[in-house]
A and B are shown apart, each in its own frame.
Chain A
Amino acid sequence: MSTPDFPLPDTIAGVPGDSGRPAPRTRVLLMSSNGAGMGHLTRLLAYAQHLPPRIEPYVLSLSQAVPVVAGFGYRYEYLPSAGALGMTSALWQPLFAERLAEAVGRIAPALVVFDGTHPYRGIDQARAAHPDVRWVWSRRGMWKTGRNSDQLAKSAWFDEVIEPGDLAAEADRGASASAPAFRVGPVTLVDGAELVTRAEARAALGLPADGRIGLVSLGAGNINDTTGEVGGAAAALRANDCAVAVTDVAIAESAHTADVHLVRAYPLARFYRAFDVVISAAGYNSFHELLRLGVPALFVPNTETSLDDQVARATYAGERGWARTLASAAGPDASEAVRLMLAHGADMAGSAAASDPGNGAPAAAARLMAVLSEASRRPDLGPSDAIDDAVAGAGVDPGEGRA
């Protein structure tokens, strides 16, 4: 696509073979649904970062945030969601099915990885139209009790289901918790070794070098209204002598005070050391980035999600002493919770890191390669030399994680 304003790495052009010409790379199509936030895309990027160089990740997304993948050197395409178009499901599904079948036929991946909790009808049709392609469902857990169970039957559309782990998995009471899947550790795009120093992070984000700064990441809201979540969080930070950082342009532009800083970076997690405390919703990505990276966190779960049980996830973290959890950032306890996190948050976050089994992305990537490897041994799936080459050296352990 046209967005990258940087040279693509050599791997995109192909790995030079014996003849000096680029060797063909095996394509893996990473397909994300259009959930709230960046979770689906970020998880797929985490997998992509651990795929061997002979694999070319190619992204097809229903999210308008998809251009961020160009920053990682990956090509992408956009397929508008029903929500983005304002279409009814009955009108959109044929559109989706037609576009997906065309894309899979043209991109010719050996493997498609769908990250989402609701596989759309049309995936089954694309699979039938391209029977030589393998399909994997990346399905995070922690579903609200009694929700979405009808989607589990769609596991039959896929050759494998990979479940990215959850540090709060013990609290998972959803329908997917007991469903068969290949389970890996919690998946994050950023690991601790990639964090930049506090000084570098503040410089990169354009933040003051000195003084306390708290990040508010609670979605949209009015920062000037202290009876609301965003405004309440900002007030709690100010009461503890913290400046406020936000990621939402509209929130920053509407602020009446000068201590509100807009921070824009992806992935922002690399710069978490810029902040003394983070007040965040408890979606999969934020939750695991904050806890795996040892950031003092105050979770305010979003109860409006259709499926993700953020309350269960955040409550578990609070019970384990990894973070503080509040039902509302606008309540009377918010200021005291921020004070507590500024004083003890680092130790609390450290205890979460001690419970961290490690990033699950490498194991998930290895499993993807194993699915390819298994496909290459099936005579009904056509020529396999390219897949074998791609899989070679990927350190595949096909059995680990099966549950």
Chain B
Amino acid sequence: MRRRTSDGKPRWLVRAAQTVRSSPRLSSVGNRAVDGVQGNRTLVDVATRLFAFAGGVPVIFLKGGRGVEGVEHSERLPVVLIDAVATPAEAIPGLLADVADLQEATRGFRPLLLLDVPAFREARAYGYPMELLVPQADWAFDSDWEDYYAGRLAMIATRYRTWATVRVIDGRIEPLGRRLLTGLATYRPWDAAFL
């Protein structure tokens, strides 16, 4: 008997989860337990210190890119959304080189790219994860493209636990965002001790 499932999870854990999910009584007990923990400020504080945040920066396992290779506990580095929607394809290489320069100079953030051109090869060269949006010009659905764009931003904030968003305007990082990224060379709350 193999100890892990085909997707690498410990088999005992999967079985336990299946047992809980398939039992209304156990699910109910589990939900009550979670509700109890969530309502307890002390327990939530301890759990937060241990698992969720490093000095106020959400902790998440996400590729950080070449510029932070070798950084210990890079999962603590803030994830910054680089919102480059409407940036033309020819401006992408220069933009990514700029982001990479800032990252190497600070070693203080992990970029997540939001593009509407499929610049996969360019993003891979830097080791950056990316999300791809349907371009506004190609929109052919009943809903508004702006709502779709806003929905994706909300999803990204939730699922990638982004710490900040930096806009790209006319193919360049907007000035305030550049200052924010540059400041991460010295503003490093995640370096603080956990407890």
Does B93 belong to the interface (CB within 8 Å)?
Answer: no
For chain A residues 96-150, which have a beta carbon within 8 Å of chain B? 98-99, 102, 106-107, 118, 146-148, 150
In the complex, which residue of chain A has the Cβ closest to the Cβ of B112? A85
Within 8 A of A (CB), among B95-147: 116-118, 120, 124, 129-132, 134-135, 137-138, 140-141, 143
Number of residues in B with C-beta < 8 Å to the partner? 33
Please count how many residues in chain A sit with their CB below 8 Å of the partner chain's CB atoms. 32
Q: How far is the CB of A69 from chain B (nearest CB, A)?
A: 11
- Residues 22-64 of B, flagged 1 when their CB comes within 8 A of A and 0 if not, give 0000000000000000000000000000000000000011110
Choose from A2, A84, A106, A148 the contact partner of B6 (Cβ within 8 Å). Answer: A148
Contact B62 A87 (CB under 8 A): yes
A96 nearest CB neighbor, chain B only? B159
Closest residue of chain B to A307 (Cβ to Cβ) is: B6
Cβ of A262 under 8 Å from chain B? no
Is A214 interfacial (CB-CB < 8 Å)?
no
The residue in B8, B61, B143 that gathers the most chain A C-beta atoms within 10 A of its C-beta is B61
Cβ–Cβ < 8 Å partners of A106 in chain B: 141, 143, 148
Report the Cα distance A67→B60, complex, angstroms: 29
Instruction: Report the separation of the CA atoms of residues A89 and B14 in the bound assembly, to the nearest whole angstrom.
Output: 13
Q: Does B155 contact A (CB under 8 A)?
A: yes
> Nearest CB to that of A90 among chain B residues?
B9
Q: Across the interface, do B63 and A118 meet the contact criterion of CB distance under 8 Å? A: no
Known: A1-B135, A77-B134. Contact between A98 and B155, CB under 8 A? yes
Instruction: Give which listed residue, A77, A91, A102, contacts B132 with CB less than 8 A.
Output: A77
Chain B residues with Cβ below 8 Å from A118 are 6-7
Q: Say whether A86 contacts B61, CB under 8 Å.
A: yes
Q: Establish whether residues A2 and B89, one from each chain, have CB atoms under 8 Å apart when the complex forms.
A: yes
Which B-chain residue is minimally distant from A3 (CB atoms)? B118
Asked whether any CB of chain A lies closer than 8 Å to the CB of B5, the reply is: yes
Task: Tell me the interface secondary structure of chain B in the complex.
Answer: loop
A78 within 8 A of B: yes
Give chain A residues whose Cβ lies under 8 Å from the Cβ of B141: 106-107
| CB pair A2 B60 closer than 8 Å | no
Is there an interface contact between A85 and B151, defined as CB atoms closer than 8 Å? no
Q: Using A2-B138, A80-B129, A98-B159 as known contacts, say yes or no to A86 and B63 having CB atoms under 8 A apart.
A: yes
Report the minimum CB–CB distance from A393 to chain B (whole Å): 25
Q: Contact check, B118 vs A67: say whether CB atoms are below 8 A apart.
A: yes
Interface string of B146-166 (1 = CB under 8 A from A): 001001000100111000000
Contact A99 B143 (CB under 8 A): no
Assembled-state Cα–Cα distance A91/B138 (Å) = 30
In the complex, A327 has a CB within 8 A of chain B: no
Q: Are A85 and B134 in contact (CB under 8 A)?
A: no
A64 at the interface (CB under 8 A from B): yes
List chain B residues, Cβ under 8 A from A87.
Answer: 60-62
Q: Is the CB of A86 within 8 A of B129?
A: yes
Which A55-88 residues sit within 8 Å CB-CB of chain B? Answer: 64, 66-67, 75, 77-78, 80, 84-88
B165 to chain A, nearest CB (A): 17
B118 lies within 8 A of A78 (CB): yes
Flag if A89 contacts B6 (CB, 8 Å): no
| Separation of A345 and B19 alpha carbons in the complex (Å) | 55
Please tell me if the beta carbons of A2 and B116 are within 8 angstroms of each other in the complex.
yes
* A64–B129 touching, CB < 8 Å: no
- How far in angstroms is the closest Cβ of chain A from B43? 21
5 new A-B contacts, CB < 8 A, other than A2-B138, A107-B141, are A1-B118, A64-B120, A89-B9, A95-B160, A150-B6
5 A-B residue pairs with Cβ-Cβ distance under 8 Å, sorted by A, are A85-B63, A86-B62, A86-B63, A95-B155, A118-B7
The 4 A-B pairs of least Cβ separation, nearest first, read A86-B63, A95-B159, A64-B120, A78-B132
